[in-house]
Structure 1
C-alpha cells in the first residue's frame, strides 16, 4: 500500500534525478500530528468591500487560534493560507479585486498551504446577478484548486440560510479545511447550515478542541482492518469510546483493533435482520449510550454488467446499502437524541465506473439515503452525512494491476492516492459537534480526482 514513486522523487538521489529529468513530483502531504501548528505559515484574509465585516470577524477568530493573520498581501511572506471571503458579493464584478489579490500571492503559497473560500449558497429567489456570483465562486474554487502545487489544497465553506460566519459549525469547517486533517480533501465545497434543532450553537465546543468526541460512544462497522481500523483509531484519538464491528470471520483482527483503541468488539454480520438492534443494545449495555455510527462495512464484486451473476449483484447491495438502511431504521425507531451518522460512499457512486455497476448503484444509494435521513435526524438534533473516498492506498487497491493503479494515483490534482487516515479524518470531523451545522452533505476525499468534479 505504498506509493513508491512519490517516496522516491522526494528523497535522496532519485529526488535529484527527478528534478533534472523534469519528472512529475507529487508532494509529501502534511498530515495531522498533535502539537503542530494549524497552518504552515501566516494567513492572509481578503474580501470584497461588502464582505469586510465578515472578513474582520474571521480574522479575529484566526487570531484567537494563535495564527499570524494579515489583511494585506505583501511580497515578503511565504503564506500558509489564504482565506477569501465573498459572503456579501452580489454581482460578478464585486469579487474581481479580492480574487486577483488572492492570485497575486499564490506563487508565494507555501507547500501544503491552503486556499479557502467563504461564500454563500445560491437560494431560490436570488436575482440572476446574485445567483451568477454565488455559482461563480464555486467554479473559481474548483479551478484554483487544480492550479495549486506542492501539496497545497483549495476548498470552500458555503453558508446557507443566513448562517453567520462566526457560527461554530462555520468555524469548525474552516478550521478543518485550513489544517492538516484535510490533507487529501481538495476542490470541495461543503455547505454549512443552521445547527440541527435541539443542539443550540452556543452549546457547541470551540472548533479548536483537541478531543471533540470526549464522552461520546461511536460504532464503526467493518472495523477489523484498513479504512475501518483507521476510523476507529482516529475517533479514539479524538476522545470517543469505540465499538468495533465486523463479521465473525474477522474476529482476531477485530479484537486487535478494539484492544488498540480501548474499545469493545462486536462480531456481527451487518446484513442480519436484527443488526441495528444488536448494535444499539451492545452500545447501551457496555457503554451506556450511542452517539455516532459510521457505516464503513462494504464489499466489491466487480464484473461487467453483461457478465454479472445475480449473487454478485445481490451481495454488494445487501452489504453496502440494504444493511445501512436497515440499521438506520432501527436507530431512528429508537429515537436517539443528537445521533450522528456518517456513511461511506465513493466517487464511483458519483461518476460511475466501468465494471462496478453494482458498487456504483450501492454507493449512489448511500448518498441518496444520507440526504433523505438528514432531515429525520435533524428533528432530534442529529445529522447524517457521507464521505466519498477516491483512490485510497489499501490492501484492496494494492491488488489492482500496476498500470491501472498508477493511472488512478496520478489523475487527482494531488497526483497521488490517499491514505486510510485521510478518510478517517473527514469522518471524525463530520462526527464532531463542530460539524453540527453540516447535514445531508457528501464530502469527497479524493485529492480532487477528475471524476465527479
Structure 2
C-alpha cells in the first residue's frame, strides 16, 4: 500500500529493536497508516457485513459490484479488511446485543489498517424516546470502539437521514471514502447523508474530471496539498494566495497545470475577482475550497485589536463575503440542479480549535467556530441548486508551522489522539476531494474532523 513518510519516532517503533523496546517500556506504538493511491485496491481482505435488515442485505449486494470479497458470516481466524455494522432499522437499545457481540467476536481478526464502519440513523428530539436512545447509543459505541482499535485501524460512522437508503449514491460514496486510504487520519467520526442526491463518477480514480476548482491559501502546506489532490482527481485549478507568496503560488500552479491568481481575499471585491478569473480561463466554476487562514496567538489578556481583527478578517469574514458573491452568481450557483454534474460545492477548512478551544487562541477559535456556523447556515441556501457546503476540521497536522513547535510540545501533540501520530496535509486534502465530488452530493452542512480522534472534544 502507498505510504507517506512517518515521523521519526513512528518509524523507530514500527520494526526491529525499536518495536521491541517500545513494547517493553509501554511506549506509544503508532502504526504507519495506509494512505490512498489511485492504483491501489479500495481495501485488502474480506469485508464482513453485520446486520439483519433489508438495508444490510442490499448494501452487501452493492459491495459485490465493487469486486469486494463480501461476507455475511465471519470465518474464525481469517483476517478481515473491514467490518460494516448496519443498524439502519434500530429502534430499541436492547437490539444492540446480538450485532455488537458479532462484531466483538471478529475484532481480533481485523487486519492492520482495517476499517470498521457503522451505518445507522441520527437521533432527534422528534423521535419516540426509545428509538432516540437506541440511535444515539451508536454514537457511544462507535467512538469507544475507535479508541480500542490498534495497528492503524479506524472506526467511523454514517448517519442516514430517514428516507435515505443504505445504497443511495452518497451513502455508498461515504462508505467508499471511509473504507479507503483517503480517511487514514479520520477516526471516531460521523458523516450525515441528508438526501439521496449525488452521482457516481464514471471513473473512481478521476472523480473530479472536468470540474473547475478554486483553492485559497494554495501556495504551500495544506493548501498546496489540496490543489495537487484535486488536480490528481481530474479537476482544473485556480490557485489563490497573497502577492507576497507569488513565487510559491506560481510553482504550485505549474505543478497542477492550473492558473494562479494573486489576491488578498479580504478585499471587498475578492469574490467578484475570483468569479471573473474562473469565467475568463475556464468558463465555469464548480468547487471552492476556503483554505486560507492565519494565526495570531496570544492569551486574551494580552490580545491587541490588530491580532484579533486580522484573524477574523481572513479566517471568516472573507469567506462570508466570497460566499455571498458565489451564491449571487449564475456561474457558480446556477449551472446545474438536483445534484447533477456541475452542482456547486464549497468546502471550508475549520479546526479542532473551533470545536474544543485552545489556550492562547480565542481569536482563532472564534473564527473557526464561526466557519462551522457559517457552513451549517449556508447549506440550505445551496440546496436549491443541488449544491453542498461542508467543513473539514484538522487536528495536529505535520506542516512547516507545526515543525517550529518546541520538540517536547510537538511530541505530546502528536500522541494525543487514538492513532498516536500527527496527520499529513494530504489527509486533509483527501477528505476535501471527497466532499467536493458528486458522490458526496447528499452530504451537506457536515463538519468532519481529520484529527485521528483527538482526545479532546468529540
Q: Does the TM-score normalized on the shorter chain lie above 0.5?
A: yes
Q: 1:239-266 CA deviation, whole Å, 9 max, x = no partner?
A: 0001100000000100010100111100
Question: Of residues 434, 444, 449 in structure 1, which corresponds to 2:454?
Answer: 449
CA distance in 1, matches of 2:86, 2:96: 9
Shift of 1:12: 4.5
CA contact (8 A) 2:28 2:415 kept: no
The residue number in structure 1 matching 2:338 is none
Question: Which residues in structure 2 correspond to 1:288-307 (within 5 Å)?
Answer: 288-307=283-302
What pairs up with 1:397-436 in 2 under 5 angstroms?
397-436=402-441
1:65–1:208 Cα contact (<8 Å) kept: no
Give me the whole-angstrom Cα distance separating, in 1, the residues matched to 2:242 and 2:293: 11
Alpha-carbon distance, 1:10 to partner: 1.3
- Partner residue of 2:231? 236
The structural deviation recorded for 1:178 is 0.8
Q: Establish whether residue 256 from structure 1 lines up as the match of residue 251 from structure 2.
A: yes
Aligned match of 1:112 = 113
**SS of corresponding position for 1:83:** strand
Contact 1:168 1:206 survives alignment (8 Å): no
* CA deviation profile, 1:409-448 (whole Å, cap 9, x unmatched): 1110000010000000000000000000000000000000
Asked if the contact 1:207/1:434 (under 8 Å) is kept, the reply is: no
Q: How does 1:26-425 map to 2 (within 5 A)?
A: 26-47=30-51, 49=52, 51=53, 53-195=54-196, 201=198, 204-206=199-201, 209-335=204-330, 336-337=333-334, 338-425=343-430
Tell me the SS of whatever aligns to 1:379: helix
Partner-residue secondary structure (3-state), 1:44: strand
**Aligned equivalents of 2:252, 2:132: Cα separation in 1:** 48
- Residue 195 of structure 1 and its aligned partner are, at CA, apart by 4.1
Instruction: Tell me the SS of whatever aligns to 1:82.
Output: strand
How far, CA to CA, are the matches of 2:434 and 2:143 in structure 1? 21
Which stretch of the first structure deviates more once superposed, 124-133 or 228-237?
124-133
For the 8 Å contact 1:172–1:207, the answer to whether it is kept is no
Secondary structure at 2:206 match in 1: coil
SS at match of 1:118: strand
User: Which segments of 5 or more consecutive residues in structure 2 lack a partner in the other structure?
Assistant: 335-342
TM-score normalised to structure 1 length: 0.96
Measure how far apart 1:18 and its partner are. 2.9
How far has the Cα of 1:66 moved from its partner? 0.9
Could you tell which deviates more after superposition, 37-46 or 251-260?
37-46
Task: Give the deviation of 1:22 after TM superposition.
Answer: 3.8
Residue ranges of structure 1 left out of the alignment (5+ in a row): none
Counterpart CA distance in 1 for 2:190 and 2:22 is 34
Which residue of structure 2 lines up, in the alignment, with residue 6 of structure 1? 10
Count, aligned residues: 444
Q: Is the CA contact (8 Å cut-off) linking 2:221 and 2:425 kept in structure 1?
A: yes
What's the CA shift for 1:34?
A: 2.0
CA contact (8 A) 1:40 1:112 kept: no
Query: 1:217, 1:286 → 2: CA distance?
Result: 10
Report the aligned-residue RMSD. Answer: 1.3
Q: CA deviation at 1:2?
A: 6.1
**TM-score when normalising by structure 2:** 0.95
Give distance in 1, aligned partners of 2:416 and 2:170: 32
Q: Is the 8 A contact 1:226 1:420 kept in 2?
A: yes
- What is the CA deviation profile of residues 347-366 of structure 1, one whole-angstrom value per residue up to 9, with x for unaligned ones? 00001000000000000000
Give 1:63 deviation, angstroms.
1.0
Q: Quote the offset at 1:210 in angstroms.
A: 1.5
Question: Over residues 23-46 of structure 1, what are the superposed CA-to-partner deviations in whole Å (9 max), with x where a residue is unaligned?
Answer: 321000000112212113110000
Whole-angstrom distance in 1 between the partners of 2:96 and 2:20: 41
Cα distance in structure 2, aligned partners of 1:427 and 1:405: 25
The question of whether the paired residues in 1 share the 8 Å contact of 2:164 and 2:196 is answered with: no
